[in-house]
Amino acid sequence: MFEDQNRNRPILEDQNRINEFVEYNGQRDRVCDFTEQSDGNLREAVVPQGASVRAIYDHAYYWPHFTAIPAAADEDVMIFTISKLTGHAGSRIGWAFVKDEDVYQKMQNYIEEAELGISREAQLRALKLMKTILHADGREIFEYAHKKMSDRWQKLSDIVSLSKRFSIQEVPSLFCNFFEKVRGPSPAYAWFKCERNEDKNCTAVLRAANIIGRAGSRFSVEDRYVRLSLLKSDDDFNLLLLRLDKLVNQDDDGKHYMKIS
């Protein structure tokens, strides 16, 4: 369970109840988690500290094209996936850095028993992808992807800023040690909020405009929020912008047109 450093977004219901149900008795293992938001905001663990407590950090989106990297990750257990690094989700390859050897052994035993190992074909594909990334200096993919995601966030922000009916989360600019400069937001997802009192089901509001998102209740927040994915093809993303632009301006005189570049 993690604490949000930016309060300008919905707080997960379970975050506020963490100390009510977390217990560590004897050798019994218990994992506490909450839904990954992927909104570009960084969080810190708020689980009780102790000799038998290990915080598990989901770093699926801890890449410089999605969020500023303030420092090298250095937690007890850190989980990564190639799907958000390169977009090859079908390979189903991930990896973890584990400090405690006993925890590592438990994880290793689980994978061997539950998954019967890892596909060699998937491992070879992941290896080829990593070699391709490192063929130059290893920065090109991050520079390209950051520019793409940053441009998308700016276009989305420009549309929503024209509206009093809708809003999206604020993501502050932060210094990134990878790029060695202050960089703006480039999250993978937008928390889209319907601000009107009568728009309690924001999913229905968007669906009426032919826009599909994931309801806030799937992430333990009210349905006034919808999570919109920015991880789309250019055609799909431009279509999203056009439909949002029409929704935002539907009370205008009908003569507002958006230019997609």
Domain boundary assignment for the chain: 2-133, 140-248
**Is 16's pLDDT higher than 50?**
no
pLDDT tens figures, 19-57: 444 444 445 566 655 545 566 677 777 666 777 778 888
Residue 32 in contact with residue 1, Cβ under 8 Å?
yes
Structure tokens, 74: 């250095």
Average pLDDT, the chain: 83
Sign of CA dihedral 59, 63, 66, 69: positive
| Residues β-bridged to residue 81 | 94
Q: Which of 116-125, 205-214, 250-259 has the lowest mean pLDDT?
A: 250-259
For residues 191-217, give the mean pLDDT: 96
Residue 216 in contact with residue 9, Cβ under 8 Å?
no
pLDDT tens figures, 115-132: 777 888 999 999 999 999
C-alpha to C-alpha distances, 121 to 79, 81, 84, nearest whole angstrom = 21, 16, 19
Radius of gyration of the chain (CA): 21
- Separation of alpha carbons 74 and 88, rounded Å: 25
- Angle of helix 140-160 relative to helix 234-248, nearest 10 degrees, comes to 20
CATH code 3.40.630.30 for 2-133: no
DSSP 196: S
83 backbone dihedrals φ, ψ, rounded to 5°: -60, -40
What dotted CATH number matches 140-248?
3.90.1150.10
85 pLDDT tier (thresholds 50, 70, 90)? very high
pLDDT tens figures, 56-74: 888 889 999 999 999 888 8
List the one residue out of 36, 57, 78 whose CA is nearest residue 188. Answer: 36
